[in-house]
Structure 1
């Protein structure tokens, strides 16, 4: 389980995350929805130990990320592409990541096959397309067969076949009792994939709960989202 409680983050005098609280439960895909600049990435960076909060907590299985031993065995993440050096091969990159967390090297070809990169594992990352880089990043997230996945805009660069594959993969992952937190501004994908939704706007949570609670009374998730955020904008004015 992911538990975020009363999280606050400031950049100078600007508050980018304000009293953010939500839970992502095991066996569910939780969609983290908001426009660009709403505070999604800042929240995820704190959750994954890449940044520090000014207040509040972000826990994975009851612990902060930095307290996890061999964290890739507990949580896999995809933020801003694969992070692989252009001169490395896909296999070389994943082998290094696996070694850093005590993961058997035999896991590398398994995850490459899983994400559809088995035939290009010995090619250098510099020749990869955006979609291939996304798949490589997902392969790295899956190396430790973690109980928790945290993915930020994972369909970026994927073709329609890849998008459909990822949607089905994440649903299947949650069905085995794993926790999936999926951050995106693409409402059509979250409408098709998520069980629960956390909606963030101007750094604040405006709704958190089952997807049906958000969409009830609206023709689509898009209509529900704009109804929520337009209301918040009126309150701010």
Structure 2
């Protein structure tokens, strides 16, 4: 379970997050939506120990990320693409990530096959296409066989087959009891896969609950999104 409670973040006099609270539950895919600048990235960075909150807590299975000894065994994440150095090969990138968390070397080959990059294992990251780079980032997230996945724009750059693949991957992870927190601007993809929906606007949560409840009275998730974030002209 991922638990965000009363999260606040300020940069000087500017409030980035204000009393942000929600949960991402086991066995469910939670979509995380918001306009640009709404606070999604700040929330995810705090959850993953990359930034500090001004107030509130963010917990992964009841513990802050920074207290996890081998965090990739608990939560796998992808923010801002693969995060790999362009001169490393795909295999070498995954190998050092695995070593950093005490993960068996065999997992490198396993996740490369799982994400469809086995034939690109010796290819330098700088030569990978955008979609292949996304798959490499997802491979790194899967290395520790974590219960929770936190992914930001995972379908960016993927072709239609790749989009169907990521849907199956995330749905399968949740159906097996895992937790998925998925941030995306592609509302059609969120509508296709999410069980629950969190919407943030202006640094505040404006919706947290089942997707069906959020979209009730709207023709589409896109209409619901604009309604929830301030454009009330999209109701049926």
Q: TM-score range by the shorter chain?
A: over 0.9
Per-residue Cα deviation, 1:175-225 (whole angstroms, up to 9, x for no partner): 000000001122111100100000101110001000000011111111111
- In structure 2, C-alpha distance between the alignment counterparts of 1:59 and 1:14, rounded to whole Å: 25
- In structure 2, C-alpha distance between the alignment counterparts of 1:49 and 1:230, rounded to whole Å: 31
- State the TM-score, normalizing by the size of structure 1: 0.96
Aligned ranges for residues 96-135 of structure 1 at < 5 Å?
96-135=96-135
| C-alpha displacement of 1:231 | 5.7
- In structure 2, C-alpha distance between the alignment counterparts of 1:7 and 1:58, rounded to whole Å: 7
- In structure 2, C-alpha distance between the alignment counterparts of 1:62 and 1:23, rounded to whole Å: 11
1:73 counterpart residue number: 73
- In structure 2, C-alpha distance between the alignment counterparts of 1:159 and 1:16, rounded to whole Å: 34
The residue matched to 2:224 in structure 1 has which SS? helix
The residue matched to 2:230 in structure 1 has which SS? helix
- State the TM-score, normalizing by the size of structure 2: 0.97
- In structure 2, C-alpha distance between the alignment counterparts of 1:229 and 1:85, rounded to whole Å: 37
1:154 counterpart residue number: 154
- In structure 2, C-alpha distance between the alignment counterparts of 1:206 and 1:111, rounded to whole Å: 37
The runs of 4+ residues in structure 1 deviating greater than 6 Å are none
- In structure 1, C-alpha distance between the alignment counterparts of 2:89 and 2:224, rounded to whole Å: 44
- In structure 2, C-alpha distance between the alignment counterparts of 1:125 and 1:212, rounded to whole Å: 40
1:57 counterpart residue number: 57
2:47 counterpart residue number: 47
Per-residue Cα deviation, 1:67-110 (whole angstroms, up to 9, x for no partner): 00100000000000111111110000100000000000000010
Given that 1:103 and 1:143 are in contact with CA atoms closer than 8 Å, whether structure 2 keeps it comes out as yes
Give 5+ residue unaligned stretches, structure 1. 233-237
1:172 counterpart residue number: 172
- In structure 2, C-alpha distance between the alignment counterparts of 1:199 and 1:107, rounded to whole Å: 35
Given that 1:28 and 1:179 are in contact with CA atoms closer than 8 Å, whether structure 2 keeps it comes out as yes
1:235 counterpart residue number: none
181-190 or 38-47, which deviates more: 181-190
Give 5+ residue unaligned stretches, structure 2. none
Aligned positions, number: 232
| C-alpha displacement of 1:44 | 0.1
- In structure 2, C-alpha distance between the alignment counterparts of 1:130 and 1:13, rounded to whole Å: 37
The residue matched to 1:8 in structure 2 has which SS? strand
2:188 counterpart residue number: 188
| C-alpha displacement of 1:36 | 1.4
- In structure 2, C-alpha distance between the alignment counterparts of 1:107 and 1:185, rounded to whole Å: 31
The residue matched to 2:134 in structure 1 has which SS? helix
